[in-house]
């Protein structure tokens, strides 16, 4: 018994304007957001226009945008993953009270976790610590 397997199984389905369901969903959600923003009558029309244009531009980029053969939403996910893995994001309303002497070079801490006597950023002798 022979069966034919389609060759394009891994391609995304196209619904409207050459968009997949996910990308078309970006446009629909953005259109709802734009209409919701525009219907806020407490704000003058001039102030409502800029957020609506920004949201429309973001929706068009997310739906049709591609760079180096990849979609913009894929790039955005990769940037968020990279930032989360490599940077500590700390949001605080209070100003940081970090003192310069609290910054200790990695070589100034011995294997027991104790600080080497007299080790500051300026006076650290790397030959003596290593």
Query: What is the domain partition of the chain in residue ranges?
Result: 10-89, 99-130
* Dist. CA 114–CA 53, nearest whole Å: 56
Structure confidence by residue, pLDDT tens digits, 32-76: 999 999 999 898 988 999 999 999 999 999 988 888 888 898 999
pLDDT score of 109:
52
Q: Which two tokens stand for residue 63?
A: 């739906």
| pTM (2 d.p.) | 0.56
Q: At what angle do helices 72-86 and 45-64 cross, to 10 degrees?
A: 100
**Banded pLDDT at 99 (limits 50, 70, 90):** low
Listed in sequence order, the residues at least 6 apart from 83 whose beta carbon sits closer than 8 Å to its beta carbon are 89
* Dist. CA 100–CA 91, nearest whole Å: 21
Higher pLDDT, 90 or 78: 78
**Banded pLDDT at 90 (limits 50, 70, 90):** confident
């Amino acid at each position: 018994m022979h069966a034919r397997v389609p060759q394009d199984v891994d391609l995304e389905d196209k619904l409207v304007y050459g968009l997949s369901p996910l990308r078309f969903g970006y446009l629909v959600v953005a259109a709802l957001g734009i209409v919701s923003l525009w219907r806020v009558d407490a704000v003058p029309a001039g102030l409502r226009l800029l957020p609506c244009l920004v949201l429309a531009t973001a929706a068009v980029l997310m739906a049709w945008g591609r760079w180096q053969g990849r979609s913009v939403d894929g790039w955005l996910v990769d940037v968020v993953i990279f930032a989360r893995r490599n940077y500590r994001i700390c949001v605080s309303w209070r100003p940081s009270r970090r003192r310069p002497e609290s910054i200790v070079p990695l070589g100034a801490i011995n294997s027991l976790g104790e600080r080497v006597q007299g080790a500051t950023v300026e006076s650290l002798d790397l030959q003596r610590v290593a």
